[in-house]
Amino acid sequence: MDQRTDEQVLESYRRGEAAALEVLIRRHHDDLLRFLYRLTGSRTLAEDVFQETFLQIHLSAGTFDVTRRFKPWLFTIAANKARDMLRKNARRRTLDLDAPVGGGASGGGGGGSGGGEVTFIDLMEIDGLTPAEGVLDAERDAKVQQVVSELPLLMREILLLAYFQRMSYSQIAEALDIPLGTVKSRLHSAVAAFAKKWQGVNKDE
């Protein structure tokens, strides 16, 4: 297992180690693909953006500031590529809820719902569903994706970075290139908006 940090791996790539880019792709594949799926609401778009993101990493490797962390830079590029892709697909306003949910981005995620209260973090996870977990988890995941997709893109991004990627305020500020105070206020608004929409989705149950 490669023990180098992301920053050291990227530096090796800049120095001509071609296989180093593959190390970064493997290392961030699951997390980034799940993030992009939540952000775009489409597995196809998520995969396209994932490819474009690492193409941009390849093209921009020489400009990376090695004193910074790689992951916020990676997610900044991914979020920007996703915005561009979503603008091109602006007419597609709703999710395809008939598509399989909960397992397409391999590897993933938390414990699912096992009764009791479901936390916001639980809702933001994409679980690798097993047959025994049944229809309820899949339905919940579809509802979460529906609610997330209805939020403005800026709110969607910050929720996913905070609750799915578990980035700190300072890391989110770096990734989105916004002040720390803006991160806090925007996240507060996003959580409130999600909670309101989530209540609306579940009010008849």
What the chain holds in terms of domains, given with CATH numbers, is: 1-90 (1.10.1740.10), 108-205 (1.10.10.10)
Q: What is the pLDDT of residue 122?
A: 54
Residues of the chain with pLDDT below 50 are: 91-115, 118, 126-135
Interaxial angle between packed helices 70-88 and 43-60, expressed in degrees from 0 to 180 and rounded to the nearest 10: 130
Q: What is the pLDDT of residue 95?
A: 31
Q: How far apart are CA 18 and CA 35, in angstroms?
A: 26
Distance of CA 114 to the CA centre of its chain: 24
pTM, whole model, 2 decimals?
Answer: 0.66
Q: What is the pLDDT of residue 140?
A: 76
3-state secondary structure of 140: helix
pLDDT of amino acid 92? 42
CB pairs under 8 A, 24+ apart, for 120-129?
A: 120/163, 120/191, 120/194, 120/195, 121/163, 123/198, 124/38, 124/148, 124/159, 124/160, 124/163, 124/164, 125/164, 126/34, 126/37, 126/38, 126/101, 126/102, 127/102, 127/103, 128/102, 128/103, 129/102, 129/103
* Structural tokens at position 149: 């997709």
